[in-house]
Each structure stands twice: as C-alpha cells, then as structure tokens.
Amino acid sequence: MPTIKFPNSCVAEDVFRFCSEMSANLGSATVCIDFSNMGRIEPFTMVYVAKQIRDFIKSSPGTDVLCINYEDKQYAANMAFFRAFGLKHGKEPNCGGGNDNFVPFTILRVKSVIDEAHSEYELEQDTIERKANQLSNILSREQNGDLVDALTFSIREILRNVLEHSRSKSMEYCAQYWPAHNKVEIAVADNGIGLLASLSANPYMQAKSHSDAIQQALMPAISAKNYKGARVDRSNPWHNTGFGLYMINRICRRGGSFLICSGDHAIKLNGEGKHHIELGHNCNGTVVRMVLNTCHLTNLAEMLAQFRDEGYEIAKEIKGVGIYSASAASQMLSRDFKK
C-alpha cells in the first residue's frame, strides 16, 4: 500500500509534489495519506490539497483512501480542512470565523449567489461585492480603510471571475491575516472549465497551452467576453474590462505575491519576477493564491489608476499584443516587472 506523506511546509512546489505523488497512484487499491509531517498550514495549501484529494477520489472511485496521524492537527481541523475533502474530523466547511483574523474553509454555491441576488433585487456582482466586503471586515477586524478596500477589491474580482467565466457550480475559499507579520493570504478555487477553455471563447486568442492561457489572463484588457465584435452592455457598471486579474496581481506584488494554477501549469508573480511551475498533475478549474503585504497598501483608487495607466502603456509597446499572442503576453509580463 503506497503511503504519501503530507508536506511539512507551505511552499507551493512542495504542495504540488505531494499532489503529483497522489495523482501517480490513481487506480491503486488503497492509498494512505500520512499527516504526521503537517506543521504550520496556510490557506492555499488547505484549499489546493482538499480540492486535489476530492478530485482524486472522484477520478479513482475504486481506490480506498486512508488517512493517518491527523488527530492532533487542531488548527487544520478548526479551519475545516479535513471535512472539506471528506474526512470526518474537525469542523464542517462554512462554520464561520472565530476570534482570530481568519476565514475557515468555505464553499459558496453559485446558485446561492444567484438566488440571493434575485431575492435582494440586485445584480449578482453586487451580491459578490457585499460578500467580499464582509470577508474583508472579518479578516481585518476593521470596517474601513486601505486594507479593507484592497481586500474587498481583490476578493471581489476573483469571485467575479468564478461567477462570470468558470462555469463552476461553486467557489471555495479560505483566508488568514497575520497582523504581526503584516501579511494576508487568501486562496480561492473553482471546479470549472479552466483558463484555457474559458479564454478560447475570445476568437483573438492564440493560446495553445495552459501556460499560454495563464499568461494571457494576467494581461490588462484581456477577457473571454470583451473583445472586438463582442456584445458588451457598457451601461452595466459590472461589464467586463479584462483588468481584474492584472490589477490584483499588481496589488499583491507590492511586497507580497500572486500565484495562479490551471490545468498542468502555475505561474507565480512577486517582486523577484515571474516564475513558471510545471505542476506534474492536473488542476481542474483554477486556483489562486493572493498574498498581500499590508505595509504597502495605500489609497486603492490611486493604486488602480496607476496600474491601469501603466498596463495600457506597456501593452501598446508590445508588438502583436492586439492579437493576444502568447509571446506578446510573456513579453508584457516581463516588461511589467520593471515598474
């Protein structure tokens, strides 16, 4: 019986190696997951691993998945990590926050968002906005200010992407704020069609791989729904401009980082540059990790205006950006790091 040890760090590459080892055992009679190495665990690790274990069980229904040495992992249990992938231990997802600055594993059904919007006589995006603001208040323990504004914007735009593009039936998220370290981490996952399939709706895209699709999704003014010839209701205040992911990764890179996974690939953006990661397994849908440095957050409107102007200028200088080629996307991201 193969035994797979849970990683002892939250480094993304270690998490991906664990998931790849698990994927390599598809079809086995029994697989054992040993949690004895689990130490400090962060939102992205919980969201990503829970999703991968669930997908493994779904893809290999004849495999018995055994879990050992998890009983004393109290923090993960309180964050609803174990229940999120089906192990009957700890709190259930959607259990609500505690006295600390965290949001435990939460599953939000898209249909619930739609139903709530209808009952409140508002657009679905307005419902998402309210939920994003509520999450920001829980995390920051504040009602307003630069941190609340940046968190609300970032959470809202990621949840909007799931609602508008993924075709996923649900969105899953988890978050933690460490005030002493000036750090906030938010992880969001969906079980949708993934970026490559989503962006293929734009006839101007030239993405041939998941890596291409991720790079293009990170460019400003790139959208699966907003392109020349597309029907866009510009009277709708929520009409898609294709700036959401670009703005979020610029906010995160101010002393933090941004990681996005889809298909067989991931890209991490931080102050040191752009890092490509081959996952070694398949990530159904899309998973995002946002890490914000609270010391580097200023007036949101000013930040977004700066990023938007810089994005347009950089994009205009890249030859071929009008046809959204993968090479143009890569060039633009590389140039962007000089800002």
> Can you tell me which residue has the tokens 């019986």?
1
- Sequence ranges of the domains in the chain: 1-92, 94-336
- Which of the four pLDDT bands, split at 50, 70 and 90, describes residue 239? very low
Length of the chain: 339
pLDDT digits (tens, 9 = 90+) for 294-320: 998 888 888 888 888 887 777 676 655
The whole-angstrom separation of Cα 138 and Cα 288 is: 20
Residue 242, pLDDT > 80, answer no
Give the least confident one: 30-34, 113-117, 209-213, 222-226: 222-226
Model pTM? 0.89
**Cα gap 296→239, rounded to integer Å:** 29
What pLDDT shows up at residue 204? 66
Nearest Cα to Cα of residue 219 among 297, 335, 298, 338? 335
Is 94-336 a domain of CATH 3.30.565.10?
Answer: yes
Two tokens, residue 112: 């619930």
Torsions phi, psi for 13 (to 5 deg)? -60, -35
Task: Give me the CATH code for the 1-92 domain, please.
Answer: 3.30.750
Average pLDDT over residues 253-272: 94
Between CA 334 and CA 315 the distance in angstroms is: 11
Which DSSP helix (H) or strand (E) runs through 138?
A: helix 124-140
**pLDDT for the residue 35:** 97
